[in-house]
Amino acid sequence: MNFVAKALNLSISAAERLEERNILRKAIIKHPFFPDVIEAFRLDKKFGFYEDGTVVVKATDGVRVFRGFPKIRRALVLNPTLKKHFGDREIALEEKMNGYNVRVVKIGENLYGITRRGLICPYTTEKARESIESDFFEDYPDYMLCCEAVGLASPYVPNEVYGIEGLDFFLFDIRNSRTNESLSVREKEEIAESYGFRMARVYLTTHPDDFNGIKEVIDELNSNRREGVVFKDIEMKVDPLKYTTSSANTSDLHYAFRYFGEYARDFMLARIVREAFQSFEFHESCEEFNERCLRLGKAILEPMISSIRECSEGKTIYDESVLVFSSHEVLELFKQHLRLLGVDFKVEILDENGEIRVKFKRVMRSTNDRIRGILNGSTWR
Ligand code: ATP
Ligand code: MG
């Protein structure tokens, strides 16, 4: 614990209190797959100016701090929010990709993948080691690559819209691990180019009052079923803002209502509110408005009814994805990792030809129990 206190500039007793209150938690499972890490802790809540997800690692070559990825605030209307937030600064419209947040870092001799809440994930680490060259870290030892991990073979957010069978990393920020300061959009692009990293695409660089140009990008993303944009000051001196497409709002709702027992009402309400403000701001035609209503209504009812039907046929409702592991060792470690996360899951081996393909099923216990109860005559609450 002493090394955490020292690294975060806390007294030892303050660090102990954080641990007692369960804010400071284990960030890793000790294993030979993580040979450079002696111990690692993460902050499960924001503390002082340290973001939630900040990790402190005691490594074979010293103590390291990796700051949590900062929250990005959301615009519900473009006008006047962008102007109010960015003033006259030049902004980049970067695609907001729909996967999960990973900080790729180098500790000792190897790469590690840290997920949003600050856990070093074995599956993500394996995929990062397979697809990212570590030469960047020789030149920029104090930096981390903030990426969205995207594709079908994702244990957290499987997504087919990108046409990626496996799991790919799309770089969106390069930050100083200790200060969380971000390189500018141009510096990031140059680095991505010279080290061969894939990047979240920049669709447009413009000014906050270019409503038509910005709306065009959003319409294009929406018709391609993409999630949305992150607006970034090209200097990265002002915090970014995010904005999502109607397609993303409805597909989130579709997902949440399929598993309505697991999802909080706030999650659903927030997405419905986004639809309302967008519809208002976009001055839709009657036809566009009716389409939105139908899309929204279907996103709510269709998935719930299909869950009810499946339960009524005696089936269990799972969230499924197909994952690929290089060895049984990493697969076992990943299962341990999920237990640490408290995930209720099942794993079935599909085939083993060099690599191991598994079907990973997340059991949605509460939705299953709820529907079954109701179908057997229980009353709502
Ligand atoms: P928040 O970041 O506000 O806590 P959240 O965890 O609910 O929100 P999202 O609504 O998905 O997450 O929005 C932020 C996330 O978007 C980032 O954490 C990052 O993983 C992801 N993201 C995808 N593409 C980009 C991009 N181009 N720039 C920044 N973040 C991106
Ligand atoms: Mg996301």
**Rounded mean pLDDT of 361-367?**
95
Q: Tell which atom from ligand 1 comes closest to the C-alpha of 232.
A: 28
**Rounded mean pLDDT of 34-40?**
98
Q: Tell which atom from ligand 1 comes closest to the C-alpha of 242.
A: 13
Ligand of minimum distance to the alpha carbon of 228:
1
Cβ of 101 closer than 6 Å to ligand 1, yes or no, is yes
Residues 268-278 as b or e (16 or more Cβ within 10 Å = b): beebeebbeeb
Ligand of minimum distance to the alpha carbon of 185:
1
pLDDT, tens only, 223-233: 999 999 999 99
Cβ of 97 closer than 6 Å to ligand 1, yes or no, is yes
Distance from Cα 327 to the centre of ligand 1, integer Å: 31
At 380, is the pLDDT very low, low, confident or very high (cuts 50, 70, 90)? confident
Confidence (pLDDT) at 15 = 87
Cβ of 148 closer than 6 Å to ligand 1, yes or no, is yes
The structure's pTM equals: 0.97
pLDDT at 1 over 80: no
pLDDT, tens only, 90-127: 999 999 999 999 999 999 999 999 999 999 999 999 99
Q: Tell which atom from ligand 1 comes closest to the C-alpha of 240.
A: 29
Cβ of 359 closer than 6 Å to ligand 1, yes or no, is no
Cβ of 29 closer than 6 Å to ligand 1, yes or no, is no
Mutate to test the pocket of ligand 1, among 172, 227, 271 (most ligand atoms within 8 A of CB): 172
Ligand of minimum distance to the alpha carbon of 171:
1
Distance from Cα 148 to the centre of ligand 1, integer Å: 8
Cβ of 199 closer than 6 Å to ligand 1, yes or no, is no
Which protein residue has the closest C-alpha to ligand 1 atom 5? 71
pLDDT, tens only, 42-93: 999 999 999 999 999 999 999 999 999 999 999 999 999 999 999 999 999 9
Structure tokens at 49: 């100016």
Residues 6+ apart with CB under 8 A from 89: 207, 208, 233, 234, 235, 238
Distance from Cα 96 to the centre of ligand 2, integer Å: 8
Whether residue 252 contacts residue 271, with contact meaning beta carbons closer than 8 Å, is answered with yes
Which protein residue has the closest C-alpha to ligand 1 atom 14? 72
Residue recorded with tokens 């209190």: 17
pLDDT at 141 over 90: yes
Write down the mean pLDDT value for the chain. 97
pLDDT, tens only, 200-215: 999 999 999 999 999 9
Residues 6+ apart with CB under 8 A from 149: 99, 100, 101, 102, 113, 124, 127, 167, 168, 169
